[in-house]
Amino acid sequence: MKMFSRAFSQLDSRKWFDRMHPQTLAIGTWLLYFDGVFALLQFFGKTNEFGFLRVIGPTTGIIALLSCISFFGGGFLMANGKLLGWYLSIAASFTPLLARFIISAHQQKYGFSISLIDRITGGDLISFMFEAALVVLLLHPMSRSYARTWLR
């Protein structure tokens, strides 16, 4: 609970990147911002996972929008030295996979079938490689050690 009470104090609105992060967190921060941009484009263009969640219904649309925003929020909070940002970034990195499993739960309603491989990869190997890279970078031992020591 202590983490939430000070998560939003002393934020610098101009600080979107921390040069002192280890390389795993630095690259992870950039990937969070890039993935956030592409997730928002998918959401508004009604393509891929987040756009299809918007099509399914208003509840899943809100979940998709919050998922898209969590990429930016996690990166911003992490750049400002907040441990909550690291946790939010980890949660955001798993949202495309979660979105695909939510979509597969609605496959009967829309009359299509999704294989297990497509549920995991989304049918696009390049995008999946970036999703997996983000997860690996955020959960790397160097990132975990830095988060445990320096993020508050």
Distance between CA 49 and CA 151 in Å, rounded?
A: 31
pTM for the full predicted model: 0.90
CA angle 133, 75, 12 (to 5 degrees): 160
**74 domain-assigned:** yes
Which of the four pLDDT bands, split at 50, 70 and 90, describes residue 123?
confident
Which of the four pLDDT bands, split at 50, 70 and 90, describes residue 9?
confident
| pLDDT score, position 2 | 66
Which of the four pLDDT bands, split at 50, 70 and 90, describes residue 152?
confident
| pLDDT score, position 133 | 97
**34 domain-assigned:** yes
Convert the pLDDT of each residue in 85-100 to its tens digit.
999 999 999 999 999 9
**68 domain-assigned:** yes
**9 domain-assigned:** no
Number of domains in the chain: 1
**130 domain-assigned:** yes
Please return the burial class of 92, using the count of CB atoms within 10 Å of its CB with bins 0-12, 13-18 and 19+.
buried
